[in-house]
Amino acid sequence: MKLKLKRKLRAELAALRKEISLPEYLFWWLCRLIMIAFAIRECILKSDTDYFRLQMIGVSALQFVLPMLHLLPRRYFTLARLSYHAQTVAGMMAVIPCVLGNCLQLYERFWWFDCFVHLLAGIVIVPIGVMLINAAANGKERLSPLAASAVGFGLSCFLSLGWECYEFLFDWFTGCNTQNWNGTPVGPLIDRIPTDPQRYPLFDTLSDMLAGLLGALLAAIALRLWMEHRARTPRKPTS
């Protein structure tokens, strides 16, 4: 058993070195250290709700979970075959909303920051969708550029919808105000566009979904064009 584990670790380390560059690997640890530092800060200061402190601790722990999934048997677990680049996206999407948005209060300081986060999420989830379908296929098939962009676009839209459902249910069960149910805008964006206060929840939800949809659309188009360009470009012979 120990011998098999050692072989697995060596194989995964070799795959990691082959796929991930040193700057990208250092970026992983930068994101992890930032998350851990601010999670400790929130626990010490106790400046926010218990839920947010638990969220910071949980997101920090998840930064170490995703690479460990590769230790599972690749034959039976799709996530064990997921590209290591997914960890880079996970680190970025943990630091930007949790640390920059909430801890450093960029959501309150810049009216456009919330839409930017949803736009960025819509963009980066598209290649994640392609990574997932390639991991599920286990190298047996290659998606066409149109199919790959459609899969990524679909997953990005699905997760954008899922996040808004999460916010709705979270507010319902906890009494929080992530969707502006109490008629008080949580961000300056709503203040800039005159509307009935009773429509604040609808405005918040649809503006987030539209930003995610736009990001997914732009990323899907760019992905298709890039894949078609790569398919037309002859590969250089390896020496």
Could you report the per-residue pLDDT of 98-127, keeping only the tens digit for each? Answer: 899 888 888 878 878 888 999 999 999 999
For the chain, give the longest Cα–Cα distance.
Answer: 67
**How high is the mean pLDDT of the chain?**
83
pLDDT of 186 strictly over 60: no
* Best CA proximity match to 148, nearest among 135, 138, 133, 158: 133
Percent of the chain residues topping a pLDDT of 90: 29
pLDDT of 194 strictly over 70: no
Alpha-carbon distance of 58 to 89, in angstroms, equals 17
Could you report the per-residue pLDDT of 27-75, keeping only the tens digit for each? Answer: 999 999 999 999 888 888 765 566 777 778 888 898 898 888 888 888 7
Q: What's the residue count for the chain? A: 239
Tally helices (H) and strands (E) across the chain.
9, 0
In this prediction, residue 77 carries a pLDDT of: 83
- The mean pLDDT of 132-161, rounded to a whole number, is 85
Q: How many CA atoms lie within 13 A of 32 on its CB side?
A: 15
Give pTM, 2 decimals: 0.82
Confidence band, pLDDT 50/70/90 cuts, at residue 220: very high
* Best CA proximity match to 94, nearest among 5, 188, 181, 29: 29
In this prediction, residue 79 carries a pLDDT of: 83
In this prediction, residue 239 carries a pLDDT of: 47
Could you report the per-residue pLDDT of 154-177, keeping only the tens digit for each? Answer: 999 999 999 888 888 877 777 776
pLDDT of 78 strictly over 60: yes
